[in-house]
Structure 1
């Protein structure tokens, strides 16, 4: 089973988030060359690959932090390719960048206030997120800069989840965490999915990510290389030899 070939990139007809033929880069340097990714409702999808593959670039392009040179991004069938970053929350997309994902000089409560600014009932949503991340309720008056790495990642997710997005983009949830906290980070991802929010994540710890994901995509040199269920990818000799254990972007 380990050497079962992985097929070409399959199109998911019932995708909530659909990324098609995306090209982008930095200045004159093109990084992505026609990348396709799909995420279904309440699904966890992981994107991984070697250093420089364009994984984090893909997340920035989806969230319009980089311009789309070509391709489309749709959410729930609505084309959001030309929607500005600040307006994407209205279309059901949340984003947790790898760094600078909380306001360190503000308290936990103030960070959540900022995340809840676009919605009409932030108090109700806070209560739901306290159920999801109970530790945050114990830290409301604490400045984000004083939180542990795991708590800060929890806050970053909760802040992005305040508007109750349909899909959450998460760039390397385990980055910078102590080894004993990595499992907890992926537990948070599973909790988000269980709450009804789909997750698209880039992750350096491929084995741990595949353990909680439904499907995965491998990027290499800014292009799709493989796609498959998490089980198939984890069992593939090619994936194990080429990518498992590779860290970073």
Structure 2
């Protein structure tokens, strides 16, 4: 596949989630300069790029943690451009931040209860998620601070999944985990998609993320640089040279 194909950022008409011309930043510092992202139903999409590319800023802007300077965000045709982060779950979007993503002093069970705040009957959903994350099943009465790093990541994902969102944003799921736990984390992400939730991942371990992703976007200097399906990204010599380290 030629590089030109990867550099073309297509617009997907049947997307579940679309972000167009996203501009955002901090104070007077503009970080994002017109970024476009599409996510289809039940699709895993990876965003990667060099340090300082604007990846974390993008996920915060998409989730309403940072105000948009300009651009539009939609899910299922509903405009989310002015929706704040605490209302996103009502529109079908969950979020797993990189840090401080569990309540350390609360038990596994209590963390899941917080995720279920909008549900009238949380028990069936809790049972489903404890099947998805069987290690948590054995630890429901333990406080989150006593869990390993990998188990805390599982709990953060399970809690965000309690309301059964259409789309889950995950920021750096592999951060601080051993290689074995990274593989397990991405296996869980693949299963989340299989169970009907689309996923947007920001991730530094590009090889691990591409093993489960359908498509990827490369950001550079706050702009779209490349886009392609995961197989073609892995095959691209230019992307290997620039971003994959081999």
Structure 1-normalised TM-score? 0.96
Secondary structure of 1:6 counterpart: helix
The alpha carbon displacement at 1:5 in A equals: 4.8
Q: Which runs of 5+ in 1 are unaligned?
A: none
- Give the Cα separation in 1 of the matches to 2:179 and 2:22: 34
Name the residue aligned to 2:205. Answer: 205
Name the residue aligned to 1:190. Answer: 190
Q: Which piece of structure 1 moves more, 83-92 or 197-206?
A: 83-92
User: Structure 1 stretches (4+) deviating beyond 3 angstroms?
Assistant: 1-5
Name the residue aligned to 1:92. Answer: 92
The alpha carbon displacement at 1:7 in A equals: 3.5
The alpha carbon displacement at 1:154 in A equals: 0.3
Structure 2-normalised TM-score? 0.97
Change in Cα spacing, 1:204 to 1:245, as seen in structure 2 (3 Å) is farther
1:61-210 correspondence to structure 2 within 5 Å = 61-210=61-210
The alpha carbon displacement at 1:178 in A equals: 1.2
Q: Which runs of 5+ in 2 are unaligned?
A: none
The alpha carbon displacement at 1:8 in A equals: 1.4
- Give the Cα separation in 1 of the matches to 2:139 and 2:186: 21
The alpha carbon displacement at 1:187 in A equals: 0.5
Secondary structure of 1:199 counterpart: strand
**Would you say the 8 A contact 1:216–1:233 is kept in 2?**
yes
Secondary structure of 1:243 counterpart: helix
Change in Cα spacing, 1:245 to 1:181, as seen in structure 2 (3 Å) is farther
**Would you say the 8 A contact 1:2–1:237 is kept in 2?**
no
Question: Deviation digits for residues 46-73 of structure 1, max 9, x if unmatched?
Answer: 0000000000111000111000000011
Question: Deviation digits for residues 109-160 of structure 1, max 9, x if unmatched?
Answer: 0100100011111111101111211111111011101111111000000000
Question: Deviation digits for residues 196-248 of structure 1, max 9, x if unmatched?
Answer: 000000000001111110000000000000000000001000100001149xx
Name the residue aligned to 1:38. Answer: 38
Secondary structure of 1:32 counterpart: strand
Q: How many residues align?
A: 246
- Give the Cα separation in 2 of the matches to 1:127 and 1:14: 32
Change in Cα spacing, 1:3 to 1:73, as seen in structure 2 (3 Å) is closer
1:210-229 correspondence to structure 2 within 5 Å = 210-229=210-229
**Would you say the 8 A contact 2:7–2:225 is kept in 1?**
no
Name the residue aligned to 1:50. Answer: 50
The alpha carbon displacement at 1:3 in A equals: 6.3
- Give the Cα separation in 2 of the matches to 1:68 and 1:3: 31
Secondary structure of 1:120 counterpart: coil
**Would you say the 8 A contact 2:75–2:91 is kept in 1?**
yes
Q: Which piece of structure 1 moves more, 23-32 or 237-246?
A: 237-246
Secondary structure of 1:191 counterpart: helix
RMSD between aligned residues: 1.3
